[in-house]
Homo-oligomer: A and B are copies of this chain.
Amino acid sequence: MKISNEDKLLAELLRLVPVPLDQPLGPGDDCAATRGPRKGELFLLKTDCVAEGVHFLRSDDPARVGWKALCRPLSDIAAMGGIPQQALVTFFSPPDLDMGYWKKFYRGLGKAARRFGVTIAGGEMSRQPSGIAISITLTGFVPEKQLVQRSGGRPGDKLFTTGLLGGSLAGHHLDFIPRLAEGRWLAEKIHPSAMMDISDGLGADLPRLARASGCGFEVNRAAIPCRRGSRTDQALSDGEDYELLFAVSPKKAVSLVNRWAEVFPKTRLSCIGNLTTPQEPPPDWPGGWDHFKKAVV
């Protein structure tokens, strides 16, 4: 059987291995979280990977690839309301690759690390006969009371997204700014009932958030904020947006909208719909990007 669905495969695989019992949230959220260094604080741990031909091309500027490689897991830390700390970098390098490639890559990585307060604590390298691949581990922390998971949404909660969606491949996917400031502010001041980052497209990620919360969802498609040059179907399916998707109670929603405009005047905030009692997604709802979709037989 070929791999047809990432979520399903990961769930099946995790049944084959011991998983932590004392963990505030199990595998499946944006990051793993365990009791942290200080009382009342959770330690966040995330690995993420980018591969040539999937997340970037050999012809892309290596500095932008380095930026992207670190900013992807930063986006996951942002989605938990967390503060990033240290990264370990593992790269797989084809034997014909020039050393200059990795110097440029590390310059881009270092630029992102400095901007977002991350230090590089180590890493590994390995020869890889075929393609370039990079795996990054990122640690972080979050006050336990401010942790936002995917699973806390309730029917009636309003659904919001930051920024613009769709058309990421034109450049955004290599240059995006992870929503760390926004995620932190939301966790501290608003405490959304559920939050995640949109990496596989709203079409795939919204059903995940709704399912984790035991809810269905309704979306006003006209309210979906499309990047210039993108249509709504692209905003749903392209992926690599690295924006935040979150749910807040109707009561908090008004205050959120007012305060947001003051704190983040340059970042669009869109109310795109609401969570409902459990129901299937609309029949014409697209699935977003699945890394293994093309492998379905």
List A residues at the B interface (Cβ < 8 Å).
1-3, 6, 9-10, 12-14, 16-21, 23, 27-29, 31-32, 34-37, 43, 45-55, 86, 88-90, 92-93, 95-100, 102-103, 106-107, 109-110, 113-114, 118-131, 133, 135, 137, 139, 291-292, 294-295
Given A17-B120, A20-B121, A23-B121; 18 other pairs, CB 8 A cutoff: A2-B96, A2-B98, A2-B99, A3-B99, A3-B102, A14-B106, A16-B109, A17-B110, A27-B120, A48-B90, A49-B124, A51-B128, A54-B129, A93-B292, A127-B292, A129-B130, A130-B130, A135-B135
Q: Is the CB of B88 within 8 A of A13?
A: no
The 10 closest A-B pairs by CB, nearest first: A130-B130, A135-B135, A17-B110, A32-B121, A27-B122, A95-B295, A32-B122, A16-B106, A137-B137, A20-B119
Q: How far is the CB of A115 from chain B (nearest CB, A)?
A: 10
Q: Is the CB of A45 within 8 A of B110?
A: no
Chain B residues lying within 8 Å of A123, measured Cβ to Cβ, are: 10, 27, 47
Q: Is the CB of A13 within 8 A of B291?
A: no
Q: Is the CB of A50 within 8 A of B99?
A: no
Q: How far is the CB of A1 from chain B (nearest CB, A)?
A: 5
Chain B residues lying within 8 Å of A127, measured Cβ to Cβ, are: 51, 54, 291-292, 294-295
- Nearest residue in B to A112 (C-beta to C-beta)? B17
Q: Is the CB of B47 within 8 A of A88?
A: yes
Chain B residues lying within 8 Å of A93, measured Cβ to Cβ, are: 3, 292
A12 to B123, CA, bound (A): 13
